[in-house]
Amino acid sequence: MYSEKVMDHFSNPRNVGELPDANGIGQVGNAVCGDIMKIYLKIEDNIITDAKFKTFGCGAAVATSSMATELVKGKTVEEALELSNKAVAEALDGLPPQKMHCSVLAEEGIKAAIDDYHARQ
Amino acid sequence: MYSEKVMDHFSNPRNVGELPDANGIGQVGNAVCGDIMKIYLKIEDNIITDAKFKTFGCGAAVATSSMATELVKGKTVEEALELSNKAVAEALDGLPPQKMHCSVLAEEGIKAAIDDYHARQ
Ligand code: FES
């Protein structure tokens, strides 16, 4: 049912936790299952230099957030805003259709964190 | 949003993994979110002597499975069949209403594992 990459990022998630020196923090909720995602970004000179996440969500939410935080590190703010949940799911070699709603949490969390960063400037 | 007991069983889940010598194994899926739960029971002389679980489900599913496997250990098969998801949620000092569907996975997984045990006899 799940790809090897999904199981890898679920069993050994990257970037779990909080970022004490984050300057962009986003929290979003999932309408389908009621889960919560919190994304922490550290942005320097328009580049995302660090990213972490915390979630109460399921394995698919953990795996997509792990992959999404990996993908945005080193990117510009504009590049990160273009990262779609579909692209993250593809980087994980796909997700079952009924779990695609979980991958939206990571995308929306990153967008909310960047919004927060802009609001702080 | 979540009680201290829920956060404790989510952060330090008890009984995670497989039981190599299980004689009752149940796997169930959640119609609401598509998540999966697998429960392993070891039953000797009608008593559940060990219980473990594996899930791809969310934090509420992890916490309820952790608590439910703790609660059934040492119980008879008949007592375990009476364990409801509501009782497990109460043992965790409650769950938010929109996460009650997650707690059903543990109850149904235990029932499926006991069914499997009976089928093997
Ligand atoms: S949202 Fe699927 S088990 Fe909780």
Which DSSP symbol is given to B12? S
pLDDT at position A30 is 76
pLDDT at position A93 is 97
For chain A, the average pLDDT equals 94
Which DSSP symbol is given to A12? S
User: Which of ligand 1's atoms lies nearest the C-alpha of B35?
Assistant: 2
Confidence of residue A33 (pLDDT cuts 50, 70, 90): confident
* Nearest neighbour of A98 by CB, restricted to B34, B58, B61: B34
Residue A19: pLDDT over 80: yes
Alpha carbon of residue B51 to chain centroid: 9
pLDDT at position B109 is 97
Q: Which two tokens stand for residue B116?
A: 């499997």
Quick: pLDDT tens for B45-94: 999 999 999 999 999 999 999 999 999 999 999 999 999 999 999 999 99
Alpha carbon of residue B46 to chain centroid: 18
The values of phi and psi at residue A35, to 5°, are -80, 165
- Nearest residue to B53 via CA among B33, B31, B24, B74: B24
Residue A32: pLDDT over 80: no
Q: Give CA–CA dist B108/B97, Å, rounded.
A: 18
Residue B1: pLDDT over 80: no
Q: Which two tokens stand for residue A101?
A: 């709603």
For chain B, the average pLDDT equals 95
Q: Give CA–CA dist A20/A85, Å, rounded.
A: 26
The half-sphere exposure of A28 on its side-chain side, counting CA atoms within 13 A, is 25
pLDDT at position A29 is 86
Model pTM?
0.86
Our mutation pick for probing the ligand 1 site, out of A58, A100, A104, counting the most ligand atoms within 8 A of Cβ, is A58
Confidence of residue A50 (pLDDT cuts 50, 70, 90): very high
